Amino acid sequence: MTTNSVLPDIPLTPFIRDILDRIDASAGSVKEAISLPPECYTSTEWYEFERRAIFDREWLALGHHSFIPNIGDYFSITINEEPLLVVRGKDGEIRVLSAVCRHRGHLLGNGSGNADSFTCPFHGWTYGLDGALLSAPEMNGTLPMEELRRTQCLPSLRSEIWNGFIFVNFDGAAAPLGPRLKVLSEEVKNHHMADLVAPPTVDWKGNPWNWKFMQENALEPYHTHYLHSGPHDFAPSRLASFFEWDEADDGAIFHPTGFLHVDGGFNVSARCLMPAIPTLTLEERQRVMFAAVMPNLFFGAQPDCVFFYLILPESPGSITLRVGLLTTIDNLSLPTAPLLLKGTVDGISVYNDQDVVANTLTHQGLKSRFAPRTRYAPKEKTLAQINTWLVKRYKAYADSLEPLKLAAE
Ligand code: FES
Ligand SMILES: [Fe+2]
């Protein structure tokens, strides 16, 4: 049984109302939209509003099912400031459990591995792979085990898998994700991402910028011609193309950028380092599809692999990025696979290092009293789409609070 759990509502303070009153101008066509009010990136108050409006109510990406192929495999992750365990159960199903021990709150299963059960190191309470409480030593003097078993299971959250990526939904009420990813699913179907495999991910911690910058930077091909001039030239921004916004299919925001040659790759050679995924068409081997499954999954589907970031916000100005890539089992079986994977990640790091500087300095700039609220260039079309996605959800959450407010008045 899954648990529905959201953070307590917060009042719509004058500060939040003022932002909401000005935010409509950020949505809609790139011809008219302006950027979000700068406080949306820098304010703790807005971040707390956003945790409720976005992170408590949308589908959040946690990883890929290839992280946990076998019964008992698990990994831990903290998202929306909530520690979670993602576990492959005895029935082969993937479950997302709270990682907080039901006794006094110690965290369970830090990291990743394989287990028959989870025993809390603090006082030895033990849980099954499905979250059921199996034992609680020495507790029978105060509470019968039967009652503990009935009331103290680890909460299990609603989850969905799309193309192998595991998503969780805290409020249990989000519309299914898959049906809102129709066009993207079609565009990347030949990558067969559910059949690809991820080598171990790495966490890049302590990134001092707002989570939205990560999606913005990754999705707009305006900056690539300037910030990444040189290494990005094989994928010039003039070969970027866009999709029109579709309200009924709004789970993702994405756009492809073409390459000047087949089998391009984001590294110093400008060529992918591993053999291309064999099911791709020639056209698909000459482009990368950049895609954000909002709010926190970004991936780039390129000829030989799919690299991805899971964006894990910790505050308005700090995120951890869990970084990985997916490729074919055949590629992972090559004798040179470790070197090729390292080369692929090192190649992407070159662009990331430049983006780190840009994101850090932009976050600082948006804290200024002179922070801009600006019009976009045509190649920033995806930014207007991100805003459209966000504004709809900000407003929906605020509207859901209005009756409460009126009732209190
Ligand atoms: S906190 Fe886990 S057993 Fe006490
Ligand atoms: Fe970039």
> What are the sequence ranges of the domains in the chain?
1-57+179-409, 60-160
Q: CATH fold of 1-57+179-409, please?
A: Naphthalene 1,2-dioxygenase Alpha Subunit; Chain A, domain 1 (3.90.380)
What atom in ligand 1 is closest to the CA of residue 123? 3
| pTM score of the predicted model | 0.96
CA 267–ligand 2 middle distance (angstroms): 13
Q: Which residues sit with their C-beta closer than 6 Å to ligand 1?
A: 101, 103-106, 120, 122-125
CA 352–ligand 2 middle distance (angstroms): 7
What atom in ligand 1 is closest to the CA of residue 136? 3
What atom in ligand 1 is closest to the CA of residue 125? 3
The answer to whether 256 and 288 are in contact (CB under 8 A) is yes
CA 120–ligand 2 middle distance (angstroms): 42
In single-letter form, the type of residue at position 261 comes to H
d(CA 1, CA 358): 44
Q: Which ligand is nearest to the CA of 223?
A: 2
Q: Which ligand is nearest to the CA of 348?
A: 2
Q: What is the pLDDT of residues 139-191, one digit of tens each?
A: 988 999 999 999 999 999 999 999 999 999 999 999 999 999 999 999 999 99
In single-letter form, the type of residue at position 363 comes to H
The answer to whether 376 and 216 are in contact (CB under 8 A) is no
CA 407–ligand 2 middle distance (angstroms): 47
Q: Which ligand is nearest to the CA of 137?
A: 1
The answer to whether 344 and 267 are in contact (CB under 8 A) is yes
For ligand 1, atom 1, name the residue with the nearest CA: 104
For ligand 1, atom 3, name the residue with the nearest CA: 123
The answer to whether 111 and 63 are in contact (CB under 8 A) is no
Instruction: Report, as ranges of residue numbers, the positions in the chain whose pLDDT lies below 50.
Output: none
What atom in ligand 1 is closest to the CA of residue 106? 1
Q: Which ligand is nearest to the CA of 349?
A: 2
CA 287–ligand 2 middle distance (angstroms): 16
Mutate to test the pocket of ligand 1, among 98, 101, 134 (most ligand atoms within 8 A of CB): 101
CATH homologous superfamily of domain 60-160?
Rieske [2Fe-2S] iron-sulphur domain (2.102.10.10)
Closest by alpha carbon to 55, among 319, 373, 371?
A: 319
Residue 389 half-sphere exposure, CB side, CA atoms within 13 Å?
26
Mutate to test the pocket of ligand 1, among 85, 106, 110, 148 (most ligand atoms within 8 A of CB): 106
CA 30–ligand 2 middle distance (angstroms): 20
Mutate to test the pocket of ligand 1, among 85, 100, 103 (most ligand atoms within 8 A of CB): 103
1-57+179-409 and 60-160 agree in CATH topology: no
Q: Which ligand is nearest to the CA of 102?
A: 1
Residue at token pair 């509207």: 399
pLDDT value of position 280: 98
CA 369–ligand 2 middle distance (angstroms): 26
CA 228–ligand 2 middle distance (angstroms): 7
CA 159–ligand 2 middle distance (angstroms): 31
pLDDT value of position 99: 98
What atom in ligand 1 is closest to the CA of residue 105? 1
